[in-house]
Structure formats: structure tokens, C-alpha cells
């Protein structure tokens, strides 16, 4: 497990590329993002919201939105994927992940804006999450999704995840991958800021986190 500095979240931002080469920034959610994040969820199609929340919902409840925008509480983290459109930063995807120190596992959930699906953003975001998880010492990453969520299942399969039953819920399936063997020790080979910072200066961080 490594540590993180919460006084400068920008150092953990990464620039990914869509299938067509468009820059997509992945960064931690901040309190200033509350309205934009809620609008993002409201704008998702009913099916996409159902898949993301594993049930019917029109928006994030206020208590859940508050948890989304406060990074690091209870070892839970939220990121948004953004891209510039007409000079404005637009949220095109999001993800939330949590670390369980007893099992050394990261649990995740993510969504991509309906209009931006098919651009390779989901695959790039998932790979970035694997990198962030490895930087924090996780050995395994997994998520649960509805058995009817063909898009998430296809994404996980293409990304090398295996599948198993979700304990206690027959409507869900679990996708998972072992990541402890994917750690790279050379900073110049590390594909995300969290991993690079952990490799270069693991003692420079101050606040304990996932």
C-alpha cells in the first residue's frame, strides 16, 4: 500500500486517448464537480443508469453524491474522464473504486456517456484503473455487473477479465483480474501518474490512502 497527497490532486491526473486519438483526461473528482457530475448521470439513458446503479435511478441521491465528490474517505475514490468540447470540459465517463486491505482487492464500477460509447474510452479507462490499483498495492481488481449488461461484459472480456458468479446475487456476474504480476518497476514504462509517483518517490506522500 502506498500513500497519497490530497493537497494536490492534479498530480494524479492522466491523459488517455480515444480510439480516434482525442485526448481524454482522467482526474479525481473534486467538490466543484458536484453539479456537473449529477448532470452527467441525469443525461445517461435509462438503460445506462440502470446498468451503472444495478437498478432504477434517475440521479445520485444527495448522500451518495457527497461520497462521490470526497476523495479518499473510507478508501473510496472517484474519477471522471473529461474531454474539451467547444472550449468546455465535458464529462464523458466516470468510475468509482474502493480498496479492501484484507483481501488486497480493488472493487470498481464505471460508466461512459451514451454519446461517447464506441470510442474506446471505456477500455482506456479500465486500463487506467488497473494501473491505479497496482500503484496502491492491490493484487486483484473486480466488479459486479448485471448479466444483461452486454456492453460491460464485452469490455471486460476484451480486457482480459475472467468471470464468476457474484456471491449472493444470481442477477449479477463478477469480472475479475489478477494484477500483481503486471507491476513495472521502471518509471519511464509506467503508464499512469499514480504508478509513476509510487515508483519514483513512495516516501514523498503524506496522507494514508488506498
pLDDT in tens, 151-204: 999 999 999 999 999 999 999 999 999 986 554 544 555 668 887 776 654 433
| Predicted local distance difference test score (pLDDT) of residue 176 | 97
Question: Is residue 18 helix, strand or coil?
Answer: coil
CA angle 27, 69, 77 (to 5 degrees): 60
Q: What burial letters (b/e) apply to 189-210, b meaning 16+ CB within 10 Å? A: ebebbbbbbbbeeeeeeeeebb
pLDDT for residue 9: 74
Quick check: 118 and 158 in contact, CB under 8 A?
Answer: no
Burial of 183 (0-12, 13-18, 19+ CB in 10 A): middle
Residue 142 CA to residue 110 CA, distance in Å, equals 12
Over residues 82-116, the pLDDT tens digits come to 999 999 999 999 999 999 989 999 999 999 999 99
Q: Which distant-in-sequence residues (6+ apart) come within 8 Å of 17 by Cβ?
A: 23, 24, 120, 124
Contact 193, 12 (CB under 8 A): yes
Instruction: Specify the pLDDT at position 40.
Output: 98
- Give me the pLDDT at residue 204, please: 36
For 84, phi then psi, to 5°, come to -75, 130
Question: Averaged over 68-95, what is the pLDDT?
Answer: 92
pLDDT for 25 equals 96
Q: Which of 51-55, 124-128, 185-189 has the lowest mean pLDDT?
A: 185-189
pTM for the predicted model, two decimal places: 0.87
Amino acid at each position: 500500500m502506498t500513500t497519497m497527497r490530497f493537497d494536490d490532486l492534479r498530480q494524479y491526473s492522466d491523459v488517455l486517448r480515444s480510439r480516434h486519438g482525442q485526448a481524454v483526461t482522467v482526474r479525481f473528482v473534486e467538490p466543484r464537480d458536484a453539479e456537473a457530475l449529477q448532470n452527467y448521470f441525469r443525461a445517461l439513458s435509462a438503460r445506462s443508469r440502470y446498468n451503472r446503479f444495478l437498478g432504477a435511478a434517475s440521479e445520485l441521491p444527495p448522500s451518495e453524491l457527497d461520497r462521490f465528490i470526497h476523495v479518499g474517505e473510507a478508501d473510496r475514490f472517484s474519477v471522471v474522464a473529461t474531454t474539451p468540447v467547444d472550449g468546455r470540459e465535458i464529462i464523458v465517463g466516470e468510475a468509482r473504486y474502493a480498496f479492501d486491505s484484507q483481501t488486497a482487492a480493488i472493487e470498481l464500477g464505471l460508466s461512459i456517456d451514451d454519446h461517447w460509447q464506441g470510442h474506446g474510452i471505456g477500455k482506456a479507462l479500465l486500463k487506467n484503473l488497473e494501473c491505479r490499483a497496482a500503484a496502491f498495492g492491490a493484487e486483484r481488481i473486480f466488479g459486479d455487473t448485471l448479466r444483461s449488461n452486454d456492453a460491460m461484459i464485452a469490455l471486460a472480456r476484451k480486457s482480459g477479465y475472467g468471470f464468476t458468479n457474484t456471491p449472493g446475487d444470481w442477477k449479477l456476474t463478477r469480472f475479475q483480474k489478477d494484477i500483481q504480476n503486471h507491476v513495472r518497476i521502471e518509471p519511464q514504462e509506467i503508464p499512469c501518474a499514480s504508478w509513476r509517483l509510487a515508483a519514483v518517490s513512495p516516501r514523498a506522500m503524506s496522507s494514508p490512502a488506498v
